[in-house]
Amino acid sequence: MEEIMHELRQIRREIDEQKIAIDRNGEKVTEKVTQNINCILEDKFKILNENYEHIREKCENQEKRLYFLEKQARKNNIVFFGIKEMETSYSNLESLIVNFIKEHFSQELDRRDIQEVRRIGKKGERPRPIIVTFCTLGTKINLFKNRSALKNTGYYITEDFPQNILEKRKELQEQARIERVKGNVVRIKYDKLIINEKKKTTGNNKRMLSTSPENKTTKGAETNTQANKKNKSQTQTRRTSSLSEGILKPGMLNYLINRNTNNSADPQQINNANI
């Protein structure tokens, strides 16, 4: 009986060990499967991310192209405000714009100079703005340069901007007002704020002019200093040579010179000299 119990205990122990081994193997298998799944998912996410970046770059390029095309399409446009709606047809509207330009800008234009003209917005109490597309950019520039002719007339003109640019310009107006309070010259060019800082007052220039004699004196002093330095260096050089020569007395110096001359002279030259 005891042997049977011993065998049963041993069998149970083996079963427990096998169970533990199976659990460990199951954990390893689960870990490997999880790693494989994670690797597959990472590869797929990497591909998706690359595709997303590619699509995002394409969209950005398309937006830039659309922005450029819209800007180019509007560059010959001028928006006229305040002109009453008296036209009954497209031809009347063209004639209205041609006569308006002739009256207020003193420029003779023909219908052939206008590519398109149309009103925008919904009808209301106020007259709707008119967008005029000119055939040439030069015509648009000449008219826009003379926009001051509409001062105190109740009419005014602006450039034709896309909606997002109009919103951007509205945001820049507040910043432009702050810069003008500081005294800076500010202008908004398309969607950018250009700031010219306030120049220095004439008082600073006067101070600069008042100090100019001192500058001249300083320059003269610097010139004299440089000349003195040059003379000083030359004097020092001369002084050095005079000191080296003054070590020997004049009588002994002449003696040594005559001695060296006599020793170095050729006997034949001496005989020729004596003859």
What Rg, from alpha-carbon coordinates, does the chain have? 50
End-of-domain residue from the set 123, 143, 160: 160
pLDDT tens digit sequence for 53-110: 999 999 999 988 988 888 888 889 999 999 999 888 999 999 999 999 999 998 888 8
pLDDT tens digit sequence for 149-201: 998 898 999 888 888 888 888 878 878 888 788 777 777 777 777 877 666 55
| Residues of the domain holding 214 | 162-219
End-of-domain residue from the set 15, 45, 73: 73
Residue 82 · residue 154 · CB < 8 Å: yes
Tokens of 242: 């005079």
The answer to whether residues 68 and 81 belong to one domain is no
Q: Is the pLDDT of residue 259 over 70?
A: no
Q: In the chain, how many domains are there?
A: 3
Evaluate whether residue 171 is within a structural domain.
Answer: yes
Half-sphere exposure of 54 (CA within 13 A, CB side): 6
155-159, 180-184, 218-222, 233-237: lowest mean pLDDT where? 233-237
Q: Is the pLDDT of residue 145 over 50?
A: yes
For the four alpha carbons of 221, 227, 232 and 233, in that order, the dihedral sign comes to: positive
Cβ neighbourhood burial of 78 (10 Å; 0-12, 13-18, 19+): buried
The answer to whether residues 194 and 146 belong to one domain is no
Across the chain, what does the average pLDDT equal?
A: 75
For residue 91, which of 121, 118, 73, 113 has the smallest C-alpha distance? 118
The answer to whether residues 153 and 83 belong to one domain is yes
Q: Say which CATH number the domain at 100 has.
A: 3.30.70.1820
Evaluate whether residue 51 is within a structural domain.
Answer: yes
Residue 210 · residue 203 · CB < 8 Å: no
The answer to whether residues 121 and 144 belong to one domain is yes
Evaluate whether residue 263 is within a structural domain.
Answer: no
Averaged over 128-148, what is the pLDDT? 92
Q: Checking DSSP bridges between strand 156-159 and strand 192-196, what pairing results, if any? A: unpaired
With H, G, I as helix, E, B as strand and everything else as coil, classify residue 194. Answer: strand
The answer to whether residues 50 and 31 belong to one domain is yes
End-of-domain residue from the set 58, 73, 88: 73
Q: Per-residue confidence at 237, pLDDT binned at 50, 70, 90? A: very low
